[in-house]
Amino acid sequence: NAGVTQTPKFQVLKTGQSMTLQCAQDMNHEYMSWYRQDPGMGLRLIHYSVGAGITDQGEVPNGYNVSRSTTEDFPLRLLSAAPSQTSVYFCASSYGQGESPLHFGNGTRLTVT
Amino acid sequence: DAKTTQPPSMDCAEGRAANLPCNHSTISGNEYVYWYRQIHSQGPQYIIHGLKNTETNEMASLIITEDRKSSTLILPHATLRDTAVYYCIPQGGANAGNNRKLIWGLGTSLAVNP
């Protein structure tokens, strides 16, 4: 049981490049979400999904797109990377939305130059 | 939205109990108190949660005051591997169905010293 798997672990992009951060879970969780963590700030919610085909915006959605075509996968896309998107990104999933523990991946450390 | 107050840092001697406080005076009546920890930039890890009184599992104990405005996470015999940032999060209840309202503060950085 792998839990929540994020790839890649590290990534360096140039301003304007695009990329996709991958997130997969094998726990059949309906709820999945993306957070970013910056120094001196708490985790901030980017986007979340309550099931396949359903996504919604979190606190800081600008510059990011998501889709949820399967229960297992929830990729996060940066269409045109900016230095302000330099951060550590965490994917999390849970059985329910808010009423059960969140399971986190080990993060993707992204640097945009 | 419920907010929490935690001390920014604490120290504990290895083998002793670590008692981490959290104030959540605006918690709603049906919200649970969840605790997570984050070890050395890994993803946060769930520890324990409770609605009232005391909960215990293999990792820790959670004591919630009768008025539910504060709680204490207890690591009974802290080890060096317990060095981490600990987060207290009101979750579920009125917020169930909307994880947008989870507010992650900066937590308490616990240093367990040999």
Percent of chain A with pLDDT over 90: 88
Residue in B41, B99, B107 nearest the CB of A98:
B99
Q: How many residue contacts between A and B have a Cβ separation below 8 Å?
A: 67
Q: How near does any CA of chain B get to the CA of A110, in Å?
A: 13
Residue B9 CA, chain-centre distance (Å), reads: 13
Please say whether the dihedral angle defined by the alpha carbons of residues B26, B58, A30 and A37, taken in this order, is positive or negative: positive
Q: What is the pLDDT of residue A107?
A: 97
Looking at residue B96, its amino acid is A
Judged against a pLDDT cut of 90, whether residue B36 lies above it is answered with yes
Closest CA to B31 of B105, B102, B92: B92
Looking at residue B29, its amino acid is G
Q: What is the pLDDT of residues A72-95, one digit of tens each?
A: 999 999 999 999 999 999 999 998
CB contact under 8 A, B91 and A90: no
Residue in A59, A100, A104 nearest the CB of B43:
A104
CB contact under 8 A, B102 and A98: yes
Which residues in chain B touch residue A43, judged by CB atoms under 8 angstroms apart? 44, 104
Closest CA to A103 of B84, B98, B46: B46
Chain A residue whose CA is closest to B97: A97
Residue in A31, A88, A101 nearest the CB of B41:
A88
Q: What is the pLDDT of residues B99-113, one digit of tens each?
A: 656 788 899 999 999
